[in-house]
């Protein structure tokens, strides 16, 4: 009996020791978590939208290096931890990885970028979970109204914030850019059946008509379609000399090659791109058909701004990427840098970044300079969104020494006058 008693006693002592050690570890773990700010980053780095995320890893490396893994906020120094996840260009996966960041990685803030297919499902997951989120590079109307907000009604969103160009930016830019070339002002619209296409169709077309353009909408099409013969026939019949489209990048290549084969490309004087036509690799894939294409740009290496999160000017940011990757700079570099610029500014301004409500309020009041210029959530037009300017650009064959076969020149700055133009716009000329 005494032996049994002694055995139980030793076992109890051992159990008590384990519990004591575990109890001591709990406050240590809590303290470690409270001293670390975990930020999730979601973007497409593979799939049809993967070209948008090509430079995100490089920008994140620059941010990690510049911040040295820490930030001063709320009167204390917090460790910074970034967790980057790829959406594979799939909205369902975007929501899935956002939930992983929230539930498994226990992040304090989620950042996302590049098209509604990424930012909308991520924002919905964060809104449902009560996690502050910030995003960019998608028309703000597609983010706000595309997720259920109604014009004139109070915002249904408490946790999710977005800064990017909007339909108003495009309308202002196009009215200027399209008048730089003499045309018949007939515009063909090629818009997909997605959040971008729906926002542009409903909001941009009326503004273009008000500006004096006659618009011919070819109707919604499904992303990934392989045959644009019906749309091309319509544009040829109506004699359009301007085409505006917001496709997935691979879809534009299919459309424009077919347009060249069927004679439409020779008819067009302005081929205006958005969502596609943003990256040199796309133009290279088109060969001679890429020279002279027009687009709107939300960032350019000539932007006269600094990126506080990376410590670099816009030109230095472009040079840094080219040196590290051996590839040409692209405009998403600056947009991604601006996302970190804005996020870290909100963290620094927050009295307690580990408090979700306080961090969301800091985002709502944010007004700061970034790599794309001023981001000001106090200016609206709706509580959760604020627009940033775009410039009109034209793709031309690269000068000797360039990292790519095509360079992009700024030809209109009416929507972003702080940015200088770099060239005069010319009409598209197939094979020119």
| Domain annotation covers residue 427 | no
**pLDDT value for 431:** 59
Residue 408 is encoded by which pair of tokens? 């992009």
Q: Are residues 11 and 75 in the same domain?
A: no
Look at the chain and report how many structural domains it folds into: 3
Sign of CA dihedral 233, 239, 241, 244: negative
Q: What is the mean pLDDT of the chain?
A: 91
Q: What is the CATH number of the domain that holds 222?
A: 3.40.50.2300
Domain range for residue 189?
168-301+390-412
The gap between the terminal CA atoms of the chain, to the nearest Å, is: 102
| Domain annotation covers residue 55 | yes
DSSP letters along 197-210, please? HHHHHHHHHHHHHH
| Domain annotation covers residue 45 | yes
Q: Are residues 111 and 246 in the same domain?
A: no
Q: Are residues 314 and 404 in the same domain?
A: no
- pLDDT for 67 beyond 80: yes
Q: Are residues 6 and 81 in the same domain?
A: no
| Domain annotation covers residue 251 | yes
CA distance 411 to 207: 21
Q: How many CB atoms lie within 10 A of CB 176?
A: 17
**pLDDT value for 401:** 75
pLDDT band at 24 (very low <50, low <70, confident <90, very high): very low
pLDDT band at 404 (very low <50, low <70, confident <90, very high): confident
Q: Are residues 341 and 206 in the same domain?
A: no
Q: Are residues 407 and 293 in the same domain?
A: yes
Q: Are residues 154 and 239 in the same domain?
A: no
Q: Are residues 123 and 55 in the same domain?
A: yes
Q: Are residues 42 and 63 in the same domain?
A: yes
| Domain annotation covers residue 428 | no
| Domain annotation covers residue 432 | no
- pLDDT tens digits, 260-286: 999 999 999 999 998 888 888 888 889
Q: Are residues 291 and 242 in the same domain?
A: yes
Percent of the chain with pLDDT strictly greater than 70: 92
Q: How many CB atoms lie within 10 A of CB 282?
A: 21
- pLDDT for 178 beyond 90: yes
**pLDDT value for 53:** 95
CA distance 197 to 230: 18
pLDDT band at 231 (very low <50, low <70, confident <90, very high): very high
Q: Are residues 182 and 160 in the same domain?
A: no
| Domain annotation covers residue 384 | no
CA distance 8 to 215: 87
| Domain annotation covers residue 315 | yes
Q: Are residues 259 and 405 in the same domain?
A: yes
The pTM of the full predicted model, rounded to 2 decimals, is 0.85
Residue 302's contacts (CB-CB under 8 Å, 6 or more residues apart) are: 314, 315, 410, 419, 420, 422
- pLDDT tens digits, 304-331: 999 999 999 999 999 999 999 998 899 9
């Amino acid at each position: 009996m005494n032996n049994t008693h002694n055995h139980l006693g030793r076992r109890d002592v051992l159990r008590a020791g384990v519990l004591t050690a575990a109890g001591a570890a709990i406050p240590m773990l809590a303290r470690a978590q409270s001293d670390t700010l975990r930020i999730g980053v979601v973007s497409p780095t593979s799939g049809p939208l993967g070209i948008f995320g090509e430079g995100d890893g490089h920008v994140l490396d620059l941010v990690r290096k510049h911040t040295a893994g820490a930030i001063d906020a709320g009167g204390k120094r917090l460790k910074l931890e970034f967790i980057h996840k790829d959406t594979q260009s799939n909205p369902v996966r975007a929501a899935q990885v956002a939930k992983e960041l929230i539930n498994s990685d226990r992040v304090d803030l989620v950042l996302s970028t590049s098209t509604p297919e990424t930012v909308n499902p991520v924002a919905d997951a964060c809104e449902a979970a009560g996690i502050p989120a910030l995003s960019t590079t998608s028309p703000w109307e597609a983010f706000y109204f595309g997720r259920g907000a109604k014009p004139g009604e109070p915002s249904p969103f408490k946790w999710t914030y977005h800064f990017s160009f909007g339909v108003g930016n495009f309308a202002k830019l196009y009215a200027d850019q399209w008048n730089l070339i003499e045309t018949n002002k007939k515009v063909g619209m090629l818009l997909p059946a997605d959040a971008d296409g729906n926002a542009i169709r409903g909001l941009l077309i009326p503004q273009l008509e008000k500006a004096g353009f006659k618009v011919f909408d070819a109707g919604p099409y499904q992303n990934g379609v392989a045959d644009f013969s019906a749309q091309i026939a319509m544009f040829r019949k109506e004699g359009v000399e301007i085409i505006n489209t917001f496709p997935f990048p691979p879809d534009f290549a299919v459309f424009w090659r077919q347009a060249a084969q069927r004679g439409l490309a020779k008819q067009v004087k302005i081929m205006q791109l958005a969502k596609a036509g943003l990256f040199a690799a796309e133009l290279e894939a088109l060969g001679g058909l890429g020279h002279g294409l027009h687009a709107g740009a939300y960032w350019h290496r000539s932007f006269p701004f600094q990126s506080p999160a990376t410590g670099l000017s816009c030109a230095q940011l472009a040079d840094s990427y080219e040196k590290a990757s051996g590839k040409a700079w692209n405009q998403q570099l600056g947009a991604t840098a601006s996302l970190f610029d804005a996020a870290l500014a909100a963290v620094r301004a927050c009295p307690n970044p580990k408090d979700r409500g306080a961090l969301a309020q800091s985002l709502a009041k944010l007004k700061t300079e970034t790599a794309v210029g001023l981001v000001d959530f106090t200016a609206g037009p709706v509580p959760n969104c604020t627009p940033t300017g775009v410039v009109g650009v034209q793709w031309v064959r690269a000068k000797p020494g360039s990292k790519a076969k095509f360079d992009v020149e700024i030809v209109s700055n009416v929507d972003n006058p702080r940015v200088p133009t770099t060239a005069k716009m010319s009409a598209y000329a197939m094979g020119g």
